[in-house]
Amino acid sequence: MALQIMKLAITASSTVDTVPTVERFFNEAASTVTGPGTLTIAVEDFFTDTGATATTLPALATNNSYFDVYINGVLQMEDVSAYTAGGTGVGQLVITVPAGSTIEQNSPVVLVVTNFAPTSNTTIVT
């Protein structure tokens, strides 16, 4: 008999669901910020999708989340924003305005927080 590799006769199928939770928060810049400068927006200065005052900014799930910041409808670079989750008096978004840049008064600032709670299921048939 010739040499051969022996292996198990197994089939497997997997399903993965990403299960995203997206929360959006809205603000209008209260005043013009010319760089270098900083715009700090406290949680209670944001509004939710329903128009209610925000009371908490969600925690970011470790390795399964991200946040985006839009100013006047334009997605901003990651390193100009710092996000702190938490409730009233704690949660905030800090935007560092570089030299030569300006955020005009009443410019819309949109914070989008996305957390994932993935699930997976594998079925093995022997």
C-beta separation of 124 from 70 below 8 A: no
**Mean local confidence (pLDDT), 101-125:** 97
DSSP state of 47: B
Residue 93 to residue 110: CA distance in whole angstroms? 10
Structural domains for the chain: 11-125 (2.60.40)
Per-residue pLDDT tens for 74-109?
Answer: 999 999 999 999 998 999 999 999 999 999 999 999
Question: How sure is the predictor about 53, in pLDDT bands with cuts at 50, 70 and 90?
Answer: very high
Does 126 score more than 90 pLDDT?
no
- pTM, whole model, 2 decimals? 0.86
Residues whose CB is less than 8 angstroms from the CB of residue 109 and which lie 6 or more positions away in sequence, other chains included: 26, 27, 28, 29, 39, 41, 69, 70, 71, 93, 95, 103
Q: Which pLDDT belongs to residue 56?
A: 97
Question: How sure is the predictor about 13, in pLDDT bands with cuts at 50, 70 and 90?
Answer: very high
